[in-house]
Amino acid sequence: MTCVTFHPRQMARRATPMTTDKETLATESATWQPRVDVGETEQAVLIAVELPGVSADKVTVSIEENLLKISGEKNGVTESTPPIRWHRNERAFGKFERAFRLSDTIDVNGITASNRDGVLTLTLPKQTKAQPREIAITAG
């Protein structure tokens, strides 16, 4: 894969995929991490982030020093009348963050994002390879 570092032993030790000891995917303020799928075509790397119930204005995507960060906040259940006594709470709420170290093959200026049906899809185009060319030498 061209966009993330993958260590199978670390996946067995932690539930946080695609990290190294030097890269932490969640900041200390994050309370949960959304699930992601990472795929690749010849032209781009695709990252699909599962964010049901999170509006686009609550999500930030940024790049700093070749680190792509996806962060935001998912609001919890609001108070209701009459009050609900929940018997099971499995959904995650609060601040979240995921981060991916990008390789040099990614064109960071061409990254696009779309949000549809609770899935944020990032398209990270690959840089076009430099084509060999001949340089003319002028006399004088």
Backbone CA torsion sign across 26, 29, 32, 34:
negative
* Position 15 confidence tier, pLDDT thresholds 50, 70, 90: very low
CATH fold of 8-76+91-125 reads: Immunoglobulin-like (2.60.40)
Mean pLDDT across the chain, nearest whole number? 81
pLDDT in tens, 18-66: 433 334 444 567 789 999 999 999 999 999 999 998 999 999 999 999 9
Q: Averaging pLDDT over each range in 4-8, 9-13, 58-62, which range is the top one?
A: 58-62
pLDDT in tens, 77-96: 777 778 888 888 888 889 99
What is the structure's pLDDT at 27? 52
Is-contact 36 50, C-beta < 8 A?
Answer: yes
What is the structure's pLDDT at 132? 73
Is-contact 46 69, C-beta < 8 A?
Answer: no
- The CA distance from 28 to 92, in Å, is 16
> Which sequence spans correspond to the domains of the chain?
8-76+91-125
- Residue type for 92, please? A
Nearest residue to 53 via CA among 96, 97, 117, 98: 117
Average pLDDT over residues 116-121: 95
- The CA distance from 35 to 67, in Å, is 18
**φ/ψ (deg, to 5) at 99:** -145, 145
What's the pTM? 0.70
CA geometry: angle 106, 61, 95, nearest 5 deg: 135
